[in-house]
Structure 1
Amino acid sequence: MQAIKPDPQAPFFIVVNAGSGSSETALRRSVIEEVLTQAGRRFELALVDDPGKIAEVAARTAAQARAAGGILVAAGGDGTINAVAREAVAQGCLFGVLPQGTFNYFGRTHHIPEDLGDAVRALLDAQVQPVQVGVVNDRIFLVNASIGLYPRLLEEREIDKKQFGRSRFVAFLSGLKTFFSPHRRLRITLELDGKEHALRTSTLFVGNNRLQMEQVGIAPLSDAVEDGKLAAIAPKSVGKLGMLGLMLRAMLGRLGEADNLVTFSFRRMTVKPRKFYGKRRVKVATDGEVTQMTTPLEFRVLEGQLLLLKPADSEARPSAAPASDAPRMQA
């Protein structure tokens, strides 16, 4: 689909995550108001000071945007962006992003400036392009979804960030601590293209972000995401030293060289516990937010359903050759 320009008079309805503190929130609000006022653009701000209410605020703001023919915008980290994007998909709104998180994988992938003022100015001259959305059961994800050790890592990282501050260094140390703590391994069955594969792993990670795949060094999976697929990564049953080795390879951008790793791409996959009858609830992380879901889990691509405002000068990446869909499994 060719990129199009949105209505230059369409008002912005901006959901702002105010969880980082009143002074920082006031600064963000001031920057947004100053840039849009100088541009003569109509806008409304919806501040979220309670993380538990972000879905409610996003739904209400999306309804306002749809009724006014406006553009729904998320200002925050990947979790905030996910919550607002869910409503943009559900209500058919154009969607903009003002990245304000620690890693900002979604914003960086789509060349959206990390400086708030620059990001707001980019909205004013943006073009609309549909972007790929992943879904696990009925919940979307823009960057990644996972079960097993990774959701636990995210929960403990959030605790550590509240105590020691939000930085990538704190996130790294927290992750290292979680990796070396005792944890149970998953025994799951994957259904792909009508075939079942048994897998034992500490975590199953499903990616929907080219940049994240590139950074850990798995080029075929980066290509797969560009080709309209999701990317799956699962470490085989290894000890703590083996997990440390995988972590170091990921940091160095060489994870694709590891032998004790299962990697593959797909458009649809069902995951269910082995030797377990009936339904079972598991923790699932989607874009950094952890929720409980009932198995079996169905991962799939919801292609072209998010109409994103991207900077007009963002470079279009060439189409990549599709990666192999055949997973290297272990019994």
Structure 2
Amino acid sequence: MSGAPSTLLVLINRDSGLPGAAPVEHRLRELFAAESLDAELRVVERGEDIAELARAAVGRYAALVVAGGDGSLSAAAGALAGTDMPLGILPLGTFNHFARDLGLPIDLERAIRVLAAGKRRRVDVGEVNGRVFVNNSSVGIYTDVVEDRDRQRRGTGRRKTVAAAIAGFRALARYRRQRLTVSVGGQVWRKRTSLLFVGNNSYRLSFPNLSGRTRLDGGELCLFAVTGHGWRLVRLMLRTLLGHADADADFQRVEGIDGLTIDSDAPSLVVALDGEVATLATPLTYRSRPTALTVIAP
């Protein structure tokens, strides 16, 4: 191959809640052709590793485009962070938090026009024990919700939103707080909490911007620790959804930090990363990686 690559590699995640990979692939071929974009489309089958496919694409394609949700994007970002390979986004997931925070259109036709325009920007990623996240990571009740949600989807085929709602109610009924030690900004907290939330840049707390961030290149992390438990936690969740959460009363929070550690008496903790879960050895060491990822976005 002579000169710089000009072809886009497009990975279509079959497990992103799509109505069917074949119709989506056909529609994408039409839209890429309409914009005169040279694109190689590949459906990612169940069991294939998006991160491995992304690493193999570096240097061989002009850009990697992921058609999927936040979990798929996070896996690709982990492979591309620290390289010059740009990440393009076709938001086909359930929530598409990263795409929305980037200001990308959710409509497929408009999203491909953004790819055709080719404007690039550099954004931060967060990292914990070497694992990259683009939105947030958490320890506590949310990991139970994610694991239960995914079991339901595998076992019953429920839609992600329905399965998540059921899992949330179950988790609230049975969850017990964890005893954790947090070292941040020269301070050490030893606390029992139902949820610790670490965000890549600063998050707002009011509905409908529960996941909203005003910027993705601030070079910082934010930390929220839920202070309530039991029915207080239920009331907190309801208040947050209604836009009445009190950040000072309901959360212990620290913003504008570049790193922190979370430790436990347990040798490992279950950690949520952009809606996926992993078991990581303690202590959990978080850091911001400023402008480590290039994205195609306005």
Normalized against structure 2, the TM-score is what? 0.88
Q: Equivalents in 1 of 2:281, 2:160: separation in Å?
A: 33
Q: 1:57 to 1:186 in 2, by over 3 A?
A: same
Report the secondary structure of 1:112's partner residue: coil
Runs of 5+ unmatched residues, structure 2 = none
Letter in 1 for 2:114: A
Deviations 1:53-90 (A, max 9, x none): 33333332x23xx134x111111010011111112215
Which residue of 110, 123, 132 corresponds with 1:140? 132
Deviations 1:215-260 (A, max 9, x none): 37789x9569664322212212532x10111110111122235624
- Cα RMSD between the aligned structures? 2.7
Q: 1:22 to 1:201 in 2, by over 3 A?
A: closer
Q: Name the % identity.
A: 31
Residue 287 of structure 2 corresponds to residue 300 of structure 1:
yes
Q: Equivalents in 2 of 1:157, 1:73: separation in Å?
A: 27
Greater shift, 161-170 or 244-253, is seen at 161-170
Residue 53 of structure 2 corresponds to residue 53 of structure 1:
no
Report the secondary structure of 1:67's partner residue: coil
Which residue of 155, 158, 173 corresponds with 2:147? 155
Contact 2:202 2:221 in 1 (8 A): no
Count of residues in correspondence between the two structures: 293
Q: 1:308 to 1:164 in 2, by over 3 A?
A: same
Deviations 1:8-44 (A, max 9, x none): 9832111110126896211211121111122222111
Higher helix share: 1
Which residue of 221, 242, 258 corresponds with 1:252? 242
Which residue of 174, 177, 180 corresponds with 2:167? 174
Q: 1:113 to 1:234 in 2, by over 3 A?
A: same
Normalized against structure 1, the TM-score is what? 0.80
Q: Equivalents in 2 of 1:195, 1:310: separation in Å?
A: 37
Report the secondary structure of 1:113's partner residue: coil
Letter in 2 for 1:259: A
Q: Equivalents in 2 of 1:299, 1:209: separation in Å?
A: 13
Q: 1:105 to 1:39 in 2, by over 3 A?
A: same
Contact 2:82 2:293 in 1 (8 A): no
Once the two structures are TM-superposed, the CA of residue 271 in structure 1 deviates from its matched residue by 1.0
Which residue of 220, 240, 246 corresponds with 1:229? 220
Residue 104 of structure 2 corresponds to residue 104 of structure 1:
no
Q: Equivalents in 1 of 2:6, 2:246: separation in Å?
A: 44
Letter in 2 for 1:53: D
Once the two structures are TM-superposed, the CA of residue 289 in structure 1 deviates from its matched residue by 1.0
Q: Equivalents in 2 of 1:199, 1:223: separation in Å?
A: 30
